[in-house]
């Protein structure tokens, strides 16, 4: 969908997530905290899609940036008394960008399984630091006492999560806009080229390694912002933002929604968190079972994720209603 022959105008379907979020805000006020959580994981998944879906970097360590962002915001408030929301976001973004650039510069020289293990190692190291450095991070007890001043001095984080929801929605909207610009840009087209055939990309003179480090840094920054949002909304940071588990969760969310489709990052977390929330009420210990079944189903029968099912149905409908050549042209 990206590239030099893409139509970059915003289609009406692309407004649907925002309309849905607006409706959610007015119709389900008792679920706004859950809603904010979903928005945060959409942002996290979006950052992952940028490197996995477009650049083809497979990672099990994306929680390193999410967690660093979460702890940066938390430590700023609980230990240093900086309670301004935007300062916390900016600091989290900066720290994650730095980590993304430094680790990316080391690990993106490798590929495939080696790369996968190195990403996992980095988040595992961060998890251990957060666990052991308890004077700063609160260790296994987590970091409590996080405070966020009213936004712009006006909007307090209320008990029902109204401010939190809208705040997360605005940050997500900004991130979506940035990601959309990038994937439709020459840079985005170049990334799909690397994903499709890195050898060819080298042969047309692209400095593949530097390009990957760059997009990895951008993605890390966004993941860090998502982590900071989680801290601000929960007013707490736990060790569960680091390590294999959150990395795997976000990967599963993205695969459920559909990888490399931009909106797969929107659908996946909604399905995952709603299923998780519903099942956990019934079977508090076995909710992962439901997610597992869902994942198996998607991987076996819907390789493009949930959004891929819609694409297939649309293509089928088009090929029935039009001659083949024009159906192919419109499928682009």
- The single residue among 49, 154, 182, 309 that binds another protein, judged by CB under 8 A, is 182
Residues 204 and 251 sit within 8 Å (Cβ to Cβ) = no
- The single residue among 207, 283, 312, 322 that binds another protein, judged by CB under 8 A, is 207
Looking at the Cβ atoms of 22 and 207, the one nearer to another protein is 207
| Residue 189 touches another protein, criterion: CB under 8 A | yes
| Cα 68 to Cα 27, 75, 158, distances in angstroms | 34, 10, 26
How far is it, in rounded angstroms, from Cα 166 to Cα 174? 12
Residue 187 CB neighbours (<10 A): 16
- The single residue among 153, 205, 284, 323 that binds another protein, judged by CB under 8 A, is 205
Residues 82 and 142 sit within 8 Å (Cβ to Cβ) = no
| Residue 285 touches another protein, criterion: CB under 8 A | no
- The single residue among 22, 29, 145, 186 that binds another protein, judged by CB under 8 A, is 186
- The single residue among 109, 156, 200, 303 that binds another protein, judged by CB under 8 A, is 200
Region of 54-62, 122-130, 180-188, 278-286 interacting with another protein (CB under 8 A): 180-188
Residues 14 and 176 sit within 8 Å (Cβ to Cβ) = no
How far is it, in rounded angstroms, from Cα 108 to Cα 204? 20
- The single residue among 199, 285, 323, 324 that binds another protein, judged by CB under 8 A, is 199
| Cβ at position 218, least distance to another protein in Å | 8
| Cβ at position 113, least distance to another protein in Å | 22
Helix (H, G, I), strand (E, B) or coil at 9: coil
| Residue 326 touches another protein, criterion: CB under 8 A | no
Q: Would you state the torsion angle of the CA atoms of residues 145, 239, 86, 232, taken in this order, to the nearest 10 degrees? A: -50
| Residue 312 touches another protein, criterion: CB under 8 A | no
Looking at the Cβ atoms of 135 and 325, the one nearer to another protein is 325
Residues 198 and 69 sit within 8 Å (Cβ to Cβ) = no
Q: Which residues pair with 261 in a beta bridge?
A: none
Q: Which residues bind another protein (CB under 8 A)?
A: 2-8, 181-182, 184-190, 192-193, 196-197, 199-208, 211, 328-329, 332
């Amino acid at each position: 969908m990206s590239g030099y022959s893409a139509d970059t105008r915003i289609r009406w379907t692309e407004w649907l997530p925002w309309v849905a979020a607006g409706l959610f805000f007015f119709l389900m006020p008792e679920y706004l905290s859950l809603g904010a959580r979903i928005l945060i994981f959409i942002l996290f998944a979006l950052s992952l899609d940028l490197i996995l879906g477009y650049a083809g970097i497979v990672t099990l360590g994306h929680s390193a940036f999410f967690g660093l962002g979460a702890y940066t915001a938390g430590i700023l408030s609980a230990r240093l008394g900086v309670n301004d929301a935007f300062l916390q976001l900016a600091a989290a973004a900066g720290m994650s960008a730095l980590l993304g650039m430094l680790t990316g510069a080391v690990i993106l020289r490798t590929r495939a399984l080696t790369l996968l293990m190195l990403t996992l190692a980095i988040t595992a190291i961060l998890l251990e630091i957060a666990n052991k450095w308890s004077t700063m991070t609160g260790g296994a007890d987590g970091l409590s006492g996080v405070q966020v001043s009213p936004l712009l001095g006006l909007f307090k984080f209320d008990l029902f999560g109204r401010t939190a929801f809208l705040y997360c929605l605005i940050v997500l909207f900004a991130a979506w806009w940035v990601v959309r610009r990038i994937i439709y840009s020459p840079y985005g087209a170049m990334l799909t080229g690397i994903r499709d055939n890195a050898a060819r990309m080298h042969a047309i003179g692209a400095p593949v390694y530097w390009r990957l480090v760059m997009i990895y840094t951008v993605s890390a920054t966004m993941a860090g912002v998502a982590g900071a949002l989680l801290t601000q909304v929960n007013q707490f940071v736990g060790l569960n933002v680091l390590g294999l588990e959150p990395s795997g969760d976000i990967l599963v969310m993205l695969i459920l929604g559909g990888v490399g489709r931009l909106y797969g990052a929107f659908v996946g977390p909604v399905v995952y968190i709603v299923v998780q929330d519903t099942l956990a009420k019934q079977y508090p210990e076995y909710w992962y079972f439901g997610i597992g079944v869902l994942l198996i189903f998607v991987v076996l029968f819907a390789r493009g994720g949930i959004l891929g099912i819609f694409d297939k149905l649309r293509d089928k409908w088009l090929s029935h209603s039009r001659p083949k050549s024009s159906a192919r042209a419109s499928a682009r």
